[in-house]
Amino acid sequence: MKLKDDQWNLGHLRRHLQAAAELEAWTIPYYLAAMFSVVDRSSDAYQLIQSVVHQEMLHLQLVANIANSYGYSPVFGPATFPYHGTAIPHLDFALDPDNPTTQFSPYSAEIGPLDERRINAMCLIEYPEWDTGGRPDYHDKVNEYGSIGEFYDALERGARQLKGDIAGGVKQVDMFAAFYRDLPAMTVQGSGTRGLSEVVLLIDVIRDQGEAAKAVDMIAAPFRNTADDSAAQDSHYEKFSMIRRGELPSTYPMRDPSEYTPDDHKRREILMDNFARFTKLLGELFSGKSPAGFDPLMVTIGANVLACWRSGVTPRFS
């Protein structure tokens, strides 16, 4: 259902920004778990997924900066991270006229190892918009978009309509400047028209790094990681496609949950507890606070995920 006259209000924009933050945050545990399931950490697949995980953290930061410039801080909690069946938050791939599910099946939204179902889902999430550059539809509901590209196209047009509501310099976070020396800005410091140009830049970074304009396009030079990405020119979609075209790497053997020991369940509980702390700190970080222990907790969560896989246990985050 389209809004009357394609006109957004501030509440509609903020709901979309919350949904964007949820989607970006959702991908992080999903990709992270698949990455740590790979036995050989020097493999191309591991390195490619790791580079995407880092950029998803960047995208979450950029969405939060945009949201805060419109007077809204994204909210995170356990409900932000459902991993069931084939449901990926706020996207309905069947709405894309190209319907990429016919190409990338079977797929699963459940936490699991890097296998056929997970790599297909990764490609679906980052699948290039079929009509990039066209006029985006506005939707009343945030789950009526067929691709991330269409979602962000609509978000940009809504942001343009409401540029007068932009207040620069509000609760802005910049954790990645050292990795993107050629990127002009990662925060929204201006208001009104000047702020809008910064908002659009941040949306462009998210779109270009994730899906690129078309499947074969490279990431624009200013948006490339200049520090530690061996395939900095490739979008997330292209990175995942490269993994899918090759032979999937060996992953840790999994055991049936009926065989889990008390220690196995404890490993899962430790991960879930630490991840709950992490989501709390995320909310604090993007609401203008400076929570202690954020970076060490990220490292701890990675170690928790790896401990699960090495024991044959599928990780759980919530």
pLDDT along the chain (318 residues), means of 10: 70 94 95 98 98 97 98 84 88 85 96 98 89 60 82 93 97 96 96 98 95 72 96 96 97 97 98 94 92 93 98 96
Token pair belonging to 155: 């978000």
Q: Residue 211 falls within a domain, yes or no?
A: yes
Q: Residue 313 falls within a domain, yes or no?
A: no
Q: What's the CATH number where 237 sits?
A: 1.20.1260.10
The confidence score (pLDDT) of residue 81 equals 73
The confidence score (pLDDT) of residue 142 equals 77
Given a contact cutoff of 8 angstroms between Cβ atoms, the answer to whether 94 and 146 are in contact is yes
The confidence score (pLDDT) of residue 94 equals 85
Given a contact cutoff of 8 angstroms between Cβ atoms, the answer to whether 6 and 49 are in contact is no
The confidence score (pLDDT) of residue 77 equals 77
Q: Residue 292 falls within a domain, yes or no?
A: no
Domain that holds residue 170: 4-256
Q: Residue 12 falls within a domain, yes or no?
A: yes
Q: Residue 269 falls within a domain, yes or no?
A: no
Q: Residue 191 falls within a domain, yes or no?
A: yes
Token pair belonging to 273: 């507890």
pLDDT, tens digit, 9 for 90 and up, residues 282-301? 999 999 999 999 989 999 99
Could you give the CA distance from residue 10 to residue 29 in angstroms, rounded to a whole number? Answer: 30
Could you give the CA distance from residue 249 to residue 85 in angstroms, rounded to a whole number? Answer: 24
The confidence score (pLDDT) of residue 137 equals 65
The confidence score (pLDDT) of residue 136 equals 62
Q: How many independent structural domains does the chain possess? A: 1
Among residues 70, 38, 68, 72, which one has the least CA distance to residue 53? Answer: 38
Among residues 55, 19, 31, 13, which one has the least CA distance to residue 119? Answer: 31
Could you give the CA distance from residue 96 to residue 130 in angstroms, rounded to a whole number? Answer: 7
Q: The pTM is what?
A: 0.94
Q: Residue 134 falls within a domain, yes or no?
A: yes
Q: Residue 299 falls within a domain, yes or no?
A: no
The confidence score (pLDDT) of residue 1 equals 46
Residue 90: which region, alpha, beta or left (left: phi > 0; alpha: psi -120 to 50)? Answer: left
